[in-house]
A and B are shown apart, each in its own frame.
Chain A
Amino acid sequence: MKSLEELKAIREKARAGMGIREGGDDAVRVVVGMATCGIAAGARPVLSAFVEEVAKEKLDVQVGQTGCIGICQYEPVVEIFDPKGEKTTYVKMTPERAVTVVHKHLKGGEIVTEYTIGAIGK
């Protein structure tokens, strides 16, 4: 170890992924429905897409799973909670849609209306 810069570089690299252990109450939470119905409908690749894209964009977002919320016909279902607890529900998600949601909603703050239950459920 010869300089502070060198330590900083190691720290940055080591920090990647450690955020998982710090998810405070003020972080945005993405919750993917991972019950039998969700998994059968393809929720696992959706979950992975969220995890990877959030890490790639270095966002302060907690990605987790939940069980079945009772709308199995719309799986994979993804709910996004903002720090105030306001919820957006995305349905019939795919990994590609997940990437779009990360960029537009989580990064840009703009809800992707066409994927929400309000648009698709009609």
Chain B
Amino acid sequence: MIRSHVLVCGGTGCTSSGSEEIITSLEKNLDKAGLTEEVKVVKTGCFGLCALGPIMIVYPEGTFYSMVKPNDISEIVQEHLLKGRIVTRLVYDETVKDDEITSLEETDFYKKQKRVALRNCGVINPEDINEYIAFDGYQALGKVLTEMTPEQVIQTIKDSGLRGRGGAGFPTGLKWGFAAAQPKGQKYVCCNADEGDPGAFMDRSVLEGDPHALIEAMAIAGYAIGADKGFVYVRAEYPIAVRRLQIAVDQAREMGLLGTNIFGADFSFDLELRLGAGAFVCGEETALMTSIEGHRGEPRPRPPFPAVKGLFGMPTVLNNVETYANVPRIILLGADWFASMGTEKSKGTKVFALGGKITNTGLVEIPMGTTLREIIEEIGGGIPGGKAFKAAQTGGPSGGCIPAKHFDIPIDYDNLISIGSMMGSGGMIVMDEDNCMVDIAKFFLDFTVDESCGKCAPCRIGTKRLHEMLDRITKGQGKPGDLDKIEKLCYYIKENALCGLGQTAPNPVLSTIRHFREEYEAHINQKKCPCAVCKDLLDIEILPDKCIGCTVCSKVCPTNAISGEVKKTHVIDQSKCVKCGACIEKCRFSAIVKR
């Protein structure tokens, strides 16, 4: 008889920090202690707190162990699982208050979160359809097929206010309505799981942690618009996600939740996976469908929109993974429940992938309208090393930055647009005072130049020229008037590029110029990088009052640029210095600085 469940995170984050070895070691140790009949090991999806992985939760106590190593397992089995003594040294600090262990929900990281799309991630075993069903899985599909008309389904999604979570925020119910209004015939339901923004991984987590939610939602969409066939376009670089999704599809077929006459209704639906090779442009909807059709992934002009003429020329609904993950809950709990969360025009919750200069790197799901301050200071645990917050980049290479002066802005689709950024798919990269904004803009543009498919000139040539201008500025070759030229080119690309990739590519440049113009001007006019990041615009100097002449720096310098006698102040020959920073790292007296 099972008396305890041990949940180990099997998401990509924890897998790469060694959770597979932990599961193996757990099974071995449980066997040795004769506990295999009493303790069940469950491999789940992501818990969200990736910075502390590998993560493990022991129920019924709900003990949250973090950064577990394979050598810790025998202690956990012997002490906790056999004798019931919690191994306090491995418990997540935040859950220990005044020597008492509190529940995970009360920690700063989880307290303000509201998990809807991620509700089953880290809760169920994603490779077991029974666990999904135990937590109300496929109930929504059953309800839709036995009690609701397609019109009622679409109306419910419309009333809920759900908007596309892939970035643009188009109302989902409206999109479904357009496709449903097309004449009967072959139609398709597609899922965009080609998550490509650097730093965003919420879709991967849903696929890895709760793949059945996606299957259920796509079947519901199929019923709503009259489609019997679906495709999930997922990156081949997500091997765990692909494997679990395929397992889930097979299990759903076996149980008759995909196939013909589902729930005895006159409705058939089946799904196939299509693996993308990782081109960023294939996340753009028309390019994605072109790729599913077997062609080179290139976008085409819209209209016609996919709802009218999409995959194989047929009416198609295409939504993002996170959007779908919300659908079963909306059907079960009602449009009003969903609309009760969030702001006036942005309902529900949004998942953000926190990364960059932040303590709690990981996945957070918060109600729309939560302020940036709450996300970064409370949930994210602030910025490490006592540095000051400078900006947060949302929307990846298509979005823009939110500077510190907007720290208290409630995060929703419209507020982000109004300050020149965008929701994007939910990557949030936090930057502190040491990040140079010109360098950041160049970094994102570097990415889009690389990923531009080349079909249209504004994107192919425009982003390249833009990148060259930024590159010159960071090398101290900027000229007065460059900023005007850059802005002009940015707007030209935005207006004339064929698809979303090109139309949004200038956003990081425009938003950094808007909020940090003085930094650009310092690069151009004073030939200085205020944050001492751009190599060509900084000098590395030795502070005479701090240098004791220990000679370490002169030994570590790869170009022999540092000279000086023992116990006497050293100096750097700027003509030889390549600004690698090796001397700064080695100096134990903080006597070497960049400026």
* Bound CA span A21–B257, Å: 26
* Known A2-B263, A23-B59; further 7 A-B contacts with Cβ < 8 A: A3-B146, A17-B2, A20-B3, A51-B2, A63-B60, A66-B85, A67-B84
Within B34-57, the residues touching A (CB, 8 Å) are: 38, 40
CB distance from B133 to the nearest CB of A (A): 5
B83 and A18: CB pair below 8 A? no
A42 within 8 A of B: no
B142 and A20: CB pair below 8 A? no
**CB contact between B83 and one of A4, A7, A15, A65 (< 8 Å): that residue:** A65
B341 within 8 A of A: no
Residues of B within 8 A of A10 (CB): 130, 133, 255
* Bound CA span A47–B60, Å: 13
Residues of B within 8 A of A7 (CB): 133, 138-139, 142, 263
A64 and B84: CB pair below 8 A? yes
List 8 A–B pairs whose Cβ atoms lie within 8 Å, in order of A's numbering. A3-B264, A7-B138, A20-B59, A25-B103, A52-B1, A65-B83, A67-B84, A67-B85
A73 within 8 A of B: no
**CB contact between B60 and one of A1, A25, A48, A62 (< 8 Å): that residue:** A62
Q: B-side interface residues toward A, CB under 8 Å?
A: 1-5, 7, 38, 40, 59-62, 82-85, 103, 123, 130-131, 133-136, 138-139, 142-143, 146, 255-257, 261-264
B60 and A20: CB pair below 8 A? yes
A48 and B142: CB pair below 8 A? no
Residues of B within 8 A of A2 (CB): 256, 261, 263-264
* Bound CA span A66–B79, Å: 10
* Bound CA span A39–B33, Å: 13
Interface centre among A2, A13, A32 (most CB of B within 10 A): A2
In the complex formed, the residue of B with least CB distance to A25 is B103
Residues of B within 8 A of A39 (CB): 82-83
* Bound CA span A90–B302, Å: 74
A1 and B255: CB pair below 8 A? yes
Known: A2-B264, A51-B1. A67 touches B7 (CB 8 A): no
* Bound CA span A25–B82, Å: 23
Residues of B within 8 A of A18 (CB): 131, 134-135
A34 and B131: CB pair below 8 A? no
Residues of B within 8 A of A113 (CB): none
In the complex formed, the residue of A with least CB distance to B34 is A44
Residues of B within 8 A of A65 (CB): 83-84
Known: A18-B134, A20-B2, A51-B3. A3 touches B263 (CB 8 A): yes
A35 within 8 A of B: yes
CB distance from B249 to the nearest CB of A (A): 15
In the complex formed, the residue of A with least CB distance to B7 is A21
Residues of B within 8 A of A52 (CB): 1
* Bound CA span A11–B62, Å: 23
**CB contact between A1 and one of B7, B84, B130, B138 (< 8 Å): that residue:** B138
* Bound CA span A17–B39, Å: 11
In the complex formed, the residue of B with least CB distance to A62 is B60
Residues of B within 8 A of A3 (CB): 146, 263-264
In the complex formed, the residue of A with least CB distance to B4 is A20
* Bound CA span A52–B430, Å: 50
* Bound CA span A63–B40, Å: 15
Q: A-side interface residues toward B, CB under 8 Å?
A: 1-4, 7, 10-11, 13-15, 17-18, 20-21, 23, 25, 31-36, 39, 47-48, 51-52, 55, 62-67
**CB contact between B85 and one of A17, A23, A35, A63 (< 8 Å): that residue:** A35
In the complex formed, the residue of B with least CB distance to A47 is B3
Residues of A within 8 A of B83 (CB): 34-36, 39, 65, 67
**Closest 3 A/B residue pairs (Cβ):** A65-B84, A14-B134, A14-B130
CB distance from B523 to the nearest CB of A (A): 54
Residues of A within 8 A of B134 (CB): 11, 14-15, 18
* Bound CA span A35–B85, Å: 8
* Bound CA span A36–B138, Å: 46
In the complex formed, the residue of B with least CB distance to A35 is B83
In the complex formed, the residue of A with least CB distance to B132 is A14
**CB contact between A55 and one of B1, B85, B131, B263 (< 8 Å): that residue:** B1
Residues of A within 8 A of B59 (CB): 20-21, 23
Interface centre among A14, A31, A48, A62 (most CB of B within 10 A): A14
A63 and B3: CB pair below 8 A? yes
* Bound CA span A31–B83, Å: 11
Residues of B within 8 A of A20 (CB): 2-5, 59-60
In the complex formed, the residue of A with least CB distance to B265 is A2
* Bound CA span A4–B38, Å: 32
CB distance from A79 to the nearest CB of B (A): 11
Residues of B within 8 A of A47 (CB): 3
CB distance from B46 to the nearest CB of A (A): 16
A4 and B133: CB pair below 8 A? no
In the complex formed, the residue of A with least CB distance to B131 is A14
CB distance from A119 to the nearest CB of B (A): 25
Residues of A within 8 A of B133 (CB): 7, 10-11, 14
B1 and A1: CB pair below 8 A? no
* Bound CA span A62–B103, Å: 15
Known: A18-B134, A63-B3, A66-B84. A4 touches B60 (CB 8 A): no
CB distance from A73 to the nearest CB of B (A): 18
In the complex formed, the residue of A with least CB distance to B261 is A2
* Bound CA span A38–B300, Å: 72
Residues of A within 8 A of B255 (CB): 1, 10
CB distance from A106 to the nearest CB of B (A): 15
* Bound CA span A25–B104, Å: 12
CB distance from A16 to the nearest CB of B (A): 9
Residues of A within 8 A of B256 (CB): 1-2
CB distance from B252 to the nearest CB of A (A): 9
B142 and A34: CB pair below 8 A? no
Known: A18-B134, A67-B83. A1 touches B3 (CB 8 A): no
A4 and B142: CB pair below 8 A? yes
In the complex formed, the residue of B with least CB distance to A61 is B60
* Bound CA span A17–B139, Å: 20
CB distance from A122 to the nearest CB of B (A): 28
* Bound CA span A94–B360, Å: 47
* Bound CA span A35–B84, Å: 7
CB distance from A47 to the nearest CB of B (A): 7
A23 and B131: CB pair below 8 A? no
Residues of A within 8 A of B139 (CB): 7, 11
CB distance from A68 to the nearest CB of B (A): 9
Interface centre among B59, B103, B139 (most CB of A within 10 A): B59
